[in-house]
Amino acid sequence: MSEEVKARRAPRKGVPSDEKSRARTSKATLPQMALDLFAEVAADLTCGVDEVGRGPLAGPVVTAAVILDPARPIKGLADSKKLTAQRREALYEEIVERSLAYCIAEASVGEIDSLNILHATMLAMQRAVNGLSRMPTLALIDGNRCPVLPMRSEAVIKGDDKVPAISAASILAKVTRDRQLIALHEEFPQYGFDEHVGYGTPRHLEALRRHGPSPHHRQSFAPVREAFEMFGALTVSRVIRSS
């Protein structure tokens, strides 16, 4: 065996004791460093963000952002579409009461028509996140794309069924928008908003053909645009409620 190989295999001699001590200390502190990093990540504030109302022919698109409180868990959080209206209402109250922070925002019909539904949805999500009373360090967005936000964000496909904070946001947005469309039904009962909350059901499409669009219909959506072309202008004026 060559002297060079022997030298490489030979144990190191004469290493100062303080250097050995530093090496042992470095190895010993690695687990603690990992724990510290985990604690730092766990302390991050994560918000869930979701929208309701991209597909309907009428009404705003509503979004919500929620930061849940780990110390006050909420049982039964799930995709709002999979819950009954009664269960959504009950969870809505729990989320409002127990979350660390929440904000509900929207983009109007006018913004949907001028920006398109995708960009209007991104705008409403920005408003929801920026409106939180506590600024999150991470935003988890339901779907496959994220709005431009001042913090790190990640898109989660089917997040409303996977991430509790997104489920909570889905519930807040769904309940809020359903309430709005039920209120619209009182002003415009001919469209049946209380039944389909603005979606293009056969009843809704027939009402558009018969009565024309209301001020709350999205002119950029094909069935509404066709109704506008048929009637030439808004045929149903807004009902002014007395205070």
194 annotated ligand binder: no
Tokens of 198: 């603005």
Residue 222 backbone dihedrals phi, psi, to 5 degrees = -50, -50
**Helix/strand/coil for 229:** helix
Bridge pairing between strands 101-107 and 138-142: unpaired
Phi, psi of 78 (to 5 degrees): -160, 175
142 annotated ligand-binding residue: yes
Among the listed residues 187, 221, 181, 220, the one whose alpha carbon sits nearest the alpha carbon of residue 205? 221
Q: How far apart are CA 19 and CA 10, in angstroms?
A: 18
Grouping H, G, I as helix, E, B as strand and the rest as coil, residue 39 is helix
Which positions ≥6 away from 225 have C-beta within 8 Å? Answer: 219
CA distance 164 to 75: 10
Q: Is the dihedral of CA 231, 196, 123, 153 positive or negative?
A: negative
Q: Consult the annotation and say whether 51 binds a ligand.
A: yes
Binding-site members are: 50-51, 142
Binding-site members for a divalent metal cation are: 50-51, 142
